[in-house]
Structure 1
Amino acid sequence: MPDTHTAYTDSEKLIRMLDAAETMPDAVTLRARSYQLLRPLSGATVIDVGCGAGRAVAELAVRGARAIGVDLDPAMLAAARNRFPDLDVRAADAAELPLDDGQAHGYRADKVYHVLPEPAAALAEARRVLAPGGRIVLLGQDWDTIVVDSDQSDLTRRIVHARADTVPHPRIARAYRNLLLDHGFRNVELEVHTMIFTDAAMLPMVAAHADAARQTGAVSADEAEAWTDEQARRASSGRLLVAIPMFLAAGTR
């Protein structure tokens, strides 16, 4: 059984990292685009799967939706309830949503499908809870094509690919369009947006990549330290650059 304190500590670190990323202008714009693709929201029941600390659920509610957030992480749900006491957030698995057949008008999953044990089961569940004509929106990064500016290009490639290989489905975002088509969704649209990060607040994410690569044995401890130190120097002089391709797919039930 995982250590509860460690699990909560890890979640708190993730929440801080997400807060830093999600408040940046590109991230705000991309979330707004995902809401737009859900189409008219006023009075609609919209479920946000993998809602984390509840930011998107709160923003959907402000836009007039009857927003429901689901997540399996107790720390994330606690953070959501603490930040937004009036939100409807529930503990639930993506493959077992707490909704009746056809109850939802919108379904959104942001940076979730790459960690799901069975993405196909989650899509089948999305189709079950969506009413005919309901909209689904999937948003996620391609872990294999993250760009980090560095003087150590070979080492950077090894770190990025090693980090990707620690993710259950690192390339699933590039498959969103075909996955939606394969599960019977219509009018499928696909967009690719590049998120650009230059703020030092992204250093923990960059360091986490190097540490993950070190743990897999793809790079040595000295290589991970040297690469992380270079990124810290870049950040201190305003030269940090991380670019992440984000795939945004939408379809109709």
Structure 2
Amino acid sequence: MSDSWTRSITYLDTVAGCSGADYKRGVRFALDLRPGQTVLDVGCGPGTDLGDLVTRGGTVIGVDRDPVMVLEARDRHPHADVRECDAHALPLADGTVDRVRVDRMLHQVDDPRQVLAEVRRVLKPGGIAVVAQPDWDTLVVDPGDVEVNRALTRYIGASIQRHSTVGRAVPRIGAEVGFEVLDVTTTAPVFRDHAEAEMVLGLGRNAIRAAQAGLIDEKAARRWVSELETGPFLATFTIFTVVLQA
């Protein structure tokens, strides 16, 4: 495995265990898993969260488009059925799954609507999907120039996250593809440790990239980064958790 893949896996594992991952408790509660159910994890990555599903019994299926992630997930969780596939065309028959988890992946796909339509297709009547999705347009940081913060948010939306505001759209899209929207909640993870926030959010490196792209004056960007590193710090953004019923 190359160093880049190792870093990617380490990053995903670290993010799942950081202070911003408290929303996962709400996802677990909303899934309401029961023994004997068939559970699907869409975008399972290296299997960071698959173990939580496996320990609850039933049939656990993980899907991911990245073959390296699939191999890692299979190695970690031999009792799960991990498959390489595109989430736009799930390799499952209609109405065969009881529960689906979609955690922080819709901003990376080509067509979030098609992915949710596929989730709707494979769920049994009355089945539940829980979708947790950040809305990156809500990222706020203190201290520092507010205009630099806003420019950084625009850069993330334009150049890093393909669908940076899809979190707020999940209830609407879910209803459009045939789900009943049972619940919508929001969580705002708060980072007060700069090093942790930098690892998860990449504020400093992305501010410099935004400056290089011409969205921020480079001196202002570097001054902003310096302020984040030296003073009391806070960063937060909104995660939408949406419970959908087939």
Q: TM-score, normalised by structure 1?
A: 0.86
1:150 positional shift? 1.9
Conserved in 2, the CA contact under 8 Å of 1:203 and 1:231?
no
- Amino acid aligned to 2:35: S
User: What is the alpha-carbon distance in structure 2 between the residues aligned to residue 109 and residue 61 of structure 1?
Assistant: 16
The separation in 2 between residues aligned to 1:110 and 1:154, in whole angstroms, is 30
**CA shift at 1:13, angstroms?**
3.3
The answer to whether structure 1 residue 145 and structure 2 residue 158 are counterparts is no
SS in 2 for 1:139: strand
Per-residue deviation, residues 35-63 of structure 1 (Å, max 9, x unmatched) = 22122332211111111121221111112
User: Structure 1 residue 91: deviation in Å?
Assistant: 0.8
Kindly provide the amino acid, as one letter, of the partner of residue 227 in structure 1.
W
Matched with 1:206 is 203
Q: 1:42 to 1:34 in 2, by over 3 A?
A: same
Q: 1:163-198 CA distances to partner (integer Å, 9 max, x unpaired)?
A: 122222111110111111111112431001111122
State the identity %: 32
Q: Which amino acid aligns with 1:62?
A: T
Name 1:183's counterpart in structure 2: 177
Question: 2:240 & 2:172 partners in 1: Cα distance?
Answer: 12
Inter-CA distance 198–75: structure 2 relative to 1 (3 Å threshold): farther
What is residue 166 of structure 2 aligned with on the other side? Answer: 172
The partner residue of 1:45 within 5, 23, 38 is 38
Does residue 195 (structure 1) correspond to residue 189 (structure 2)? The answer is: yes
| Alignment CA distance shift 1:23-1:221 (3 Å) | same
2:228 corresponds to which residue? 231
Unmatched segments (≥5 aa) in structure 1: none
Once residues 215 and 249 of structure 1 are traced to their aligned partners in structure 2, the CA distance between those partners, rounded to angstroms, is: 36
Q: Quote the RMSD (CA, aligned, Å).
A: 2.2
- For residues 209 and 252 of structure 1, the distance between their equivalents in structure 2, rounded to whole angstroms, comes to 37
Q: Post-superposition shift, 1:137?
A: 1.0
- How far the C-alpha of 1:220 sits from its partner, in A, is 4.2
* Distance (whole Å) between structure 2 residues aligned to residue 81 and residue 212 of structure 1: 36
| Equivalent-residue separation in structure 2 for 1:19 and 1:249 (angstroms) | 23
User: Is contact 1:187-1:251 (8 Å) kept?
Assistant: yes
2:214 to 188, 213, 217: 217
Counterparts of 1:69-84 in structure 2, within 5 Å, are: 69-84=62-77
Matches within 5 A, 1:1-253: 9=4, 11-27=5-21, 29-166=22-159, 167-199=161-193, 200-204=195-199, 205-234=202-231, 239-253=232-246
Q: Give TM-score, length-normalised by structure 2.
A: 0.88
Superposition deviation, residue 221 in structure 1: 4.1
User: 203-212 or 184-193: which moved more?
Assistant: 203-212
Distance in 2 of aligned mates of 1:58 and 1:16: 16
Structure 2 vs 1, CA of residues 83 and 201 (structure 1 numbering), >3 Å: closer, same or farther?
Answer: farther
Task: Quote the offset at 1:105 in angstroms.
Answer: 0.6
C-alpha distance in structure 2 between counterparts of 1:12 and 1:201, whole Å: 19
In structure 2, relative to structure 1, the CA distance for the partners of 1:143 and 1:26 (3 Å cut) is closer
- Report the CA distance between 1:160 and its aligned residue: 1.7
| Structure 2 counterpart SS, 1:55 | coil
Contact 1:145 1:245 in 2 (8 A): yes
Could you tell me how far 1:211 is from its partner in structure 2? 4.0
Pick closer, same or farther for the CA change 1:89–1:187 going to 2, 3 Å.
same
Task: Indicate the SS of the match to 1:218.
Answer: coil
